[in-house]
Amino acid sequence: MPPRDSLPAAPGAHLREPDGARLAEATRVFALLSDATRLHLLWLLALEESDVGSLAERVTASRTAVSQHLAKLRLAGLVEARREGRHMHYRLTDGHLRRLIMEALSHADHRVTGTASHD
């Protein structure tokens, strides 16, 4: 394993030995990402802010199901909502989560297509 100082890091990464609280929080986030619909919703929100109706169309799920997923993500602090008239618009809360989602799905793309991985 390369020395810690030589590990590649994403911009803004916090490179410190994780303690129990940080490991528990990361595990909680990964558990929320383990649902395909929630991951798809987060990927869409990584691209742009959106409302429930638009998200439901894109993930081919009912508005009710999407609303329930968004409520769970909102309670977890992964998305924020703002009201505009009768519509709620959702967005990701931070760049770390955006990069995590994009990297996870880029990794999946390499695995599915057989394209060689890279840094």
Residues forming a β-bridge with 90: 50, 81
Which residue stretches of the chain have pLDDT < 50? Answer: 1-3
d(CA 49, CA 65): 18
CA torsion, points 47, 52, 41, 10, in degrees to nearest 10? 40
Instruction: Return the pLDDT at 14.
Output: 78
CATH of domain 36-112: 1.10.10.10
* pTM of structure: 0.85
d(CA 62, CA 54): 11
Any idea where the domains of the chain sit in the sequence?
A: 36-112
Instruction: Return the pLDDT at 1.
Output: 43
d(CA 53, CA 57): 6
E strand or H helix that includes residue 22: helix 20-33
Instruction: Return the pLDDT at 79.
Output: 98
